A and B are shown apart, each in its own frame.
Chain A
Amino acid sequence: MHSLYLDQFKRSLSIMKKDILIYYLKGPVIIFGVLIPLFLFLAFLTGSKNLSTDFLISGLIGMTMLFTATSVSPVIIPWESQMKTLERLMACPISIHTLIMGDMLASVLFGFFISLVPVLIGLALDVIPIHTLVLVMGIGLASLCFSSLGLLLATPPTNAPSNVMMISSLIKFPLVFISGIFIPLESMPFWGKIIASLSPLTYFTDITRYSLQNVSYYPIWLDFLAIILFTLMFFVLAVKIHKKTLAMRI
């Protein structure tokens, strides 16, 4: 039994490698991954001049993570079905978990490394991480969390990548505004805090804030726990729904 799981995990690495080669190592994909959050950030920066740089950088890390880890992951499966490569994949001796895990791992690597870009920007602006290990662990966990969210966004059985893009934008942009990136949690009204607590990005932003500013709204263990729970929930849901919808794409 043990070796079966290990074996399937190795096969998910093959899926991951394919995804990286085909979907991620593309100039435009990488550039957009960095640019979209940067533009959002600059737009925000010009609007409010009285916020500290370390507050802004911690928000930028959060946004970059959200946008990169959910940029490509939702469209891979619809894209494969449109390109007629999905049926062959489904005939392989891999479980749906393995397929989803492979897509997820590729997205995790992408999310992780691109999110280091705003960290480097911070370093250039003299924002030195106070809790480096917490920051790196947080970035690692959050890339898992948002990648599994990306795969959940891939579940509607439409084969047009543009439809999926639209659906996921409808979810991603509101997330940015409710997660304490532009307005610190402590200055939110009560109902704002309630809504914020439903977003996984809130907890990740809390972690980056703790790492860069040494302040956090929630206890740091709670942030980690919340992200782990969100990850598990997204992954389990994604597998469950894909099991139903994958055959509808053929």
Chain B
Amino acid sequence: MESVIEVQGLTKTYDQIRAVDGVDFQVRKGEIFGFLGPNGAGKTTTVRMLTGIIKPQDGSIRIMGHDIQREPLEAKEHLGVVPETSNAYVDLSAWQNLMLMAGLYGVPSDVSHERAQDLLTEFGLYPRRDDKVKGFSKGMKQRLILAMALINDPELLFLDEPTSGLDVQSSILIRQMLMQLRGKGKTIFLTTHNLEEANQLCDRIAIINHGKIAVIDSPHNLKKMTRKLNTIEVTFSTGVDLAELSRAPGVLEVKDTGEKIVMNTENVNQALSFLTDYAHSRGIQIQSLNTLAPSLEDVFMEFVGGP
């Protein structure tokens, strides 16, 4: 597998705080790599170092084979960047903003005109292309910033919380865009607080906490990794004896929350057939039944430490 980003021993200290503390990872070509972590974990600091905006204290970063410190221009040439807090120029129109970026990436003007038209159309901004960005809504601005990041047709895209604070439509539009880009073989480095978004989009996820990588794996494997088991939530027509239920095969824990009975089990299938037999033999009815697989949120809480 070809690595597009190679990071070794990356460290950045602010005053006393080790914002990023000896981070190692690799991002493969063509994947969407999720970067998750609580507030202040060091995500933005990492992205800023990867995109050559701030210098690391220690460690090395190779972006598409170029050392970001030694060959910043070559490394940045094929990047698209959506920083966490960034604005388009509000005194310029959407079109002028795109043309500025095209100029800064050395995109020839015939190519950039065509791309800008396509991008503005895809992001639903074409009718507003000549309006100053001043009058744009937050979602429109964010879509424009994403369009600006794509004007050089980058191989690698960095997005720091691209959907935070956006409405459902804008978020979905952006997510669809990311899936499309992945389909075209682009690599995406995505920071987000939205675990469902990460679960849907990412091929692999790194969880960072206090500046250190806690784990890196696919969402699927992460969910298998958690100590949290499958959960069954059940309600019966009458009261039942919890001790009897806990004798079910594979069931490790049974709790009565008052509203429903919650069972944690290693084997959903066995537990379910036990429950139906149990209800049948006692002549009581199952009123509701719900099975829950461990979620990314459970994994996240385990690695990051719950409240």
Please report A residues at the B interface, Cβ cutoff 8 Å.
Answer: 4, 7-8, 10-11, 13-15, 17-18, 21-22, 83-85, 87-95, 247, 250
B54 to chain A, nearest CB (A): 5
Which of B77, B89, B106 interacts with A22 by CB under 8 Å?
B89
Given contacts A21-B96, A22-B91, A247-B55, contact A93 B81 (CB under 8 A): no
Interface stretch, picked from B45-53, B238-246, B292-300, is B45-53
Subset of 25 A-B contacts with CB under 8 Å: A7-B106, A10-B103, A11-B103, A14-B100, A14-B104, A15-B104, A17-B100, A22-B89, A22-B91, A83-B89, A84-B86, A85-B89, A88-B81, A88-B83, A88-B86, A90-B52, A91-B53, A93-B72, A93-B73, A93-B104, A94-B73, A247-B53, A247-B54, A250-B53, A250-B54
* B73: contacting residue among A17, A83, A85, A95, CB under 8 A: A95
> What is the count of residue pairs linking A and B with beta-carbon distances less than 8 angstroms?
78
- Chain B hits for A90, CB < 8 A: 52-53
Q: Does B229 contact A (CB under 8 A)?
A: no
- CB-based nearest B residue for A80: B89
B143 interface residue per 8 A CB criterion: no
Which residues of chain B have a CB within 8 Å of any CB of chain A?
48, 51-55, 72-74, 76-77, 79, 81, 83, 85-92, 96, 100-101, 103-106, 145, 148
A93 to B100: give the CA distance in the assembly, Å: 13
| Given A18-B100, A22-B92, A87-B53 contact (CB < 8 Å) | yes
Contact B106 A85 (CB under 8 A): no
Chain A interface SS verdict (over half): helix
Residue in A11, A17, A88 whose CB lies within 8 Å of B106: A11
Residues in B neighbouring A10, C-beta threshold 8 A: 103, 106
Q: Using CB atoms, name the residue of chain B closest to A7.
A: B106
Tell me whether B92 and A21 are in contact (CB under 8 A).
yes
Find out whether the CB atom of B86 lies under 8 angstroms from the CB atom of A87.
Answer: yes
A84 touches B105 (CB 8 A): no
> In the complex, are the beta carbons of A91 and B51 less than 8 A apart?
yes
> In the complex, are the beta carbons of A92 and B76 less than 8 A apart?
yes
Report chain A residues within 8 Å CB of B55.
Answer: 247
> Residue on B with the closest CB to A94?
B104
Question: What's the minimum C-beta distance from B101 to chain A, rounded to whole angstroms?
Answer: 7
- Give the distance in Å from the alpha carbon of A15 to the alpha carbon of B74 in the complex: 19
Q: In the complex, what residue of chain A is closest to B145 when comparing beta carbons? A: A88
- Whether the pair B103, A17 counts as a contact (CB closer than 8 A) is yes
- Across the interface, which residues of B come within 8 angstroms of A8, CB to CB? 73
B101 contact set on A, CB distance < 8 A: 92
Complex: A250 Cα to B77 Cα, angstroms: 21
Assembly CA distance A21 to B87 (angstroms): 17
CA distance A15 to B55 in the complex (A): 23
How far does the Cβ of B191 sit from chain A's closest Cβ, in whole Å? Answer: 14
Chain A residues near B53 (CB, 8 Å)? Answer: 87, 90-91, 247, 250
Which chain B residues lie closer than 8 Å to A7 at the CB level? 106
